[in-house]
Amino acid sequence: MHDYSITFACYNSVEYTKKCVNSLMASGTLMSRVVVVDNGSHDGTQNYLKTQPFGEVIFNKTNLGCGIAWNQGALAQQAEWTIIMNNDVLVTQDWAERLIESARELDVRVISPAMIEGPLDYDFQEFAEEAERRMSGVSRLGAKHAVCLAVHKSVWEDIGYFTPKPRLLGYEDTIFFNELEKAGIQTAITGAVWFHHFGSVTQDQMKKEKGLAMSQALGDRKNYKMLGMNWFKRKVRRFRRKKSESLWRKTETQNFNMTVHGLRQSGEFVWR
């Protein structure tokens, strides 16, 4: 059994947190390894969390942002691997062990699962069982996403933790990914483990509170300055990423008629 801890942050959206926790329990996840950080919820989330068998629950008085919450969770149970995930996801049997095993096989220090995003209008467990069988050997080296990250402890030692600034409002993952690339730390998405992600629930909640449209960005539009990159370098990086995604999508659809990133739209899978 691998040495790992699991952490996720909450800010309202208690019904999605319940779905996530129920999924974790059904998957055989050791709940004593789960650290939950609540960022000042006021919708019943805190009362619910107090009834669950987590390893630890941290209650912040106000919304300190996901960067600070992720750091709190990672530091609460310091393990060889820290799995940082959203609270609006569903998981599969023994997912954490298999995710870390995939990282070891691929020799990467940060790894994310494959996922389907959108409404749960299909049988996720049935789908995932077949998808994990078919796509178990598929990986996207160099890719990652913030819905779920398994991070080896050496990464914290090399580049540090997430930027602890509440005003970033979700931009912490972009800054962290930038640091990974600068340090040459290899990442991957694996088709051996699948999640269902309902999709940006906390971000949408915060947009409503701030009176923003769902199409508007939550974070400050000048957060990109923290990357230390000019416009041209950001454009080149975006072009290279899109080119890699296009190649991965083409190869995976040709070989498997699906990819490691799907969307549910109008009752159908759209592969990205």
pLDDT of residue 175: 95
Residue 22 is encoded by which pair of tokens?
A: 């129920």
Give me the sign of the Cα torsion angle 13, 54, 166, 80.
negative
pLDDT of residue 180: 98
Which structural domain, as residue segments, surrounds residue 262? 4-271
Which residue from 146, 127, 45, 30 is spatially nearest to 89, judged by alpha carbons? 146
pLDDT of residue 226: 76
Asked if 2 contacts 103 with a C-beta cutoff of 8 angstroms, the reply is no
pLDDT of residue 204: 59
**Which residues in the chain belong to E strands, given as ranges?**
4-10, 34-39, 56-60, 81-85, 89-90, 110-117, 139-141, 148-152, 187-197, 261-265, 268-271
Residue located via tokens 């041209």 = 232
pLDDT of residue 77: 95
The total domain count for the chain is 1
Residue type, 76: A
> What DSSP assignment string belongs to 49-114?
HTTS--SEEEEESS---HHHHHHHHHHHS--SEEEEE-SSEE--TTHHHHHHHHHHHHT-SEEEEE
pLDDT of residue 213: 55
Which residue from 20, 15, 13 is spatially nearest to 38, judged by alpha carbons? 13
CATH number at residue 144: 3.90.550.10
Residue located via tokens 């309902």 = 198
pTM exceeding 0.95: no
pLDDT of residue 225: 77
Long-range contacts, 43-47 (Cβ 8 Å, 24+): 43/12, 43/13, 43/14, 44/14, 45/10, 45/11, 45/12, 45/13, 45/14, 45/17
pLDDT of residue 210: 56
pLDDT per position in the chain (272 positions), as tens? Answer: 899 999 999 999 999 999 999 999 999 999 999 999 999 999 999 999 999 999 999 999 999 999 999 999 999 999 999 999 999 999 999 999 999 999 999 999 999 999 999 999 999 999 999 999 999 999 999 999 999 999 999 999 999 999 999 888 889 999 999 999 999 999 999 999 999 999 866 665 554 555 555 455 555 667 777 788 888 888 888 899 999 999 999 999 999 999 999 999 999 999 99
